[in-house]
Amino acid sequence: MALPLRSLTPAPPDPILGLSESFKADTRPEKVNLSVGVYVNDSGVTPVIPSVLEAERRLLEKAGSKGYLPIDGRPGFKAAVRDLIFGAEHEIVTSGRSATAQTPGGTGALRVAADFLLQAGASKTIWLSEPTWPNHPQLFTLAGFVLRTYPYLDESGRQVDLHKMLGALRSAVPGDVVLLHGSCHNPSGVDPDQETWAAIGEIVVERELLPVVDFAYQGFGFGLREDADWLAGLARPGLEFLVCSSYSKNFALYNERVGALTIVAADPSRAASALSHLKIAIRANYSNPPAHGGDIVETILMDPTLRAQWEVDLAVMRNRILGNRAALVDALVAAEVPGMWEPIRRQRGMFALLGLSAAQVARLRDEFGVYVVGKGRINVAGLTPANLPHVVASVKAVIEG
Ligand SMILES: Cc1ncc(COP(=O)(O)O)c(C=O)c1O
């Protein structure tokens, strides 16, 4: 019996990670990679942040064990990230109506969330924002979901179109799953404000939807608590939802694969019961999570000095991105590049969506060596004083045709 692979044509490269390969092979000195969602400093380096270095030093001294973790991860890590997501005093924490599992990155959290939901008999329909992170449709389709989309941005691409978004969600069937970006929407950087989150919460209750919050960028927008506006919209008595959180970005622990899935249930016994099922989904998937990244996060969050250092480290990354946003907008406006750029200054997170056509994105890459994805999503962190003039001149050239 031959492998079914024999009849398969090669799959296209990953739309984001695949571009990095082409970038590496590009020999032009002026090339700029703004495609991958990884923080870099002005030298183009993704640094290990000081709080992480110190936590690793302490972990090495402790010389723990490489034995398996529990299926749902280390209890100290689970409690620490739960408190980080909700705030230790939040009713969801004090009532005990949540259950957390440590996962391999935010992607691992999303995948086990998908498996758990289908295994638990949830609706097979998931609503994704249009646009969204390209891995969302792929991940949920391969897990067995049927995809629907809700429009997210207005014509300008610079703000949420609440009317259209709620209109689409009104046609959802009770029980349908809806994926919401907690903060720093990928790819647009456009987030709902508090009022908009309240309206989203209303529709979720009215249509009896099941929210999955993808919370991959806590602290990368405006601050740890500022980036949790979604919580006020969804934390309602009886409303159950899932949160997939990632520590890749806010701890710069990309290759350690550290994340968490938190189930918020109506009451503590339902949360405990949900966790028992979630453990089956995990056991059948990767058995138990990797330890090292989680140990770093736990060490930092549990030690007041290290935590304070980490908040400084995070602020350095956040403020650099905000500074880059301002520099980009100033440069686009000064160069009289046609378009509405000002809102990019106050958007959240690593990404901005320039709103380019596929042909313009291809020209940016082929003619100017500027690598961006989708409709012109750029990693704002990838801009530096050295490459900004070339990026802006290239964007102007492709927009003016
Ligand atoms: C919206 C969104 N969700 C989830 C993730 C996954 O993060 P991780 O690298 O922790 O798997 C990313 C990473 O780029 C992301 O942008």
pLDDT of the chain along its 401 residues, tens only?
A: 677 776 778 887 777 777 888 899 999 999 999 998 899 998 889 999 999 999 999 999 997 889 999 999 999 999 999 999 999 999 999 999 999 999 999 999 999 999 999 999 999 999 999 999 999 999 999 999 999 999 999 998 999 999 999 999 999 999 999 999 999 999 999 999 999 999 999 999 999 999 999 999 999 999 999 999 999 999 999 999 999 999 999 999 999 999 999 999 999 999 999 999 999 999 999 999 999 999 999 999 999 999 999 999 999 999 999 999 999 999 999 999 999 999 999 999 999 999 999 999 999 999 999 999 988 999 999 999 999 999 999 999 999 98
Assess whether 313 carries a catalytic annotation.
no
State the pLDDT at residue 18: 78
Question: Which part of the chain is CATH 3.90.1150.10?
Answer: 12-48+316-400
279 counts as catalytic: no
Q: What pLDDT sits at residue 63?
A: 78
What is the predicted pLDDT for the residue at 173?
96
- Residue ranges of alpha helices (H) inside 40-104 are 50-62, 75-86, 91-94
CA dist., res. 364 & res. 376, Å (int): 9
Q: Is 396 an annotated catalytic residue? A: no
Query: Best substitution site from 20, 107, 350 to test ligand 1's pocket, by max atoms within 8 Å of Cβ?
Result: 107
b (16+ CB within 10 A) / e for 101-132: bbbbbbbbbbbbbbbbbbeeebbebbbbbebb
Amino acid letter, residue 320 = R
Residue 6 has what pLDDT?
Answer: 65
CATH architecture of the domain with range 68-302: 3-Layer(aba) Sandwich (3.40)
Residue 382 DSSP symbol: G
Contact 374, 134 (CB under 8 A): yes
User: Of all atoms in ligand 1, which is nearest to the CA of residue 258?
Assistant: 10
Domain ranges in the chain with CATH number 3.40.640.10: 68-302
130 alpha carbon to ligand 1 midpoint, in Å? 17
* CA of 322 relative to ligand 1 center, distance in Å: 20
CA distances from 168 to 138, 187, 207, 241 (A): 21, 20, 11, 20
Burial of 94 (0-12, 13-18, 19+ CB in 10 A): exposed
Closest by Cα among 393, 301, 377 to 344: 377
Distances (CA, A) of 43 to 35, 39, 381, 387: 17, 11, 11, 11
List, chain by chain if needed, residues with CB within 6 Å of any ligand 1 atom.
37, 105-107, 133, 181, 186, 214, 216, 246, 248, 259
Q: Assign a CATH topology to domain 12-48+316-400.
A: Aspartate Aminotransferase, domain 1 (3.90.1150)
Q: Please give the pLDDT value at position 21.
A: 84
Q: What is the pTM of this model?
A: 0.95
User: ∠ at Cα 33 (31, 35), nearest 5°?
Assistant: 145
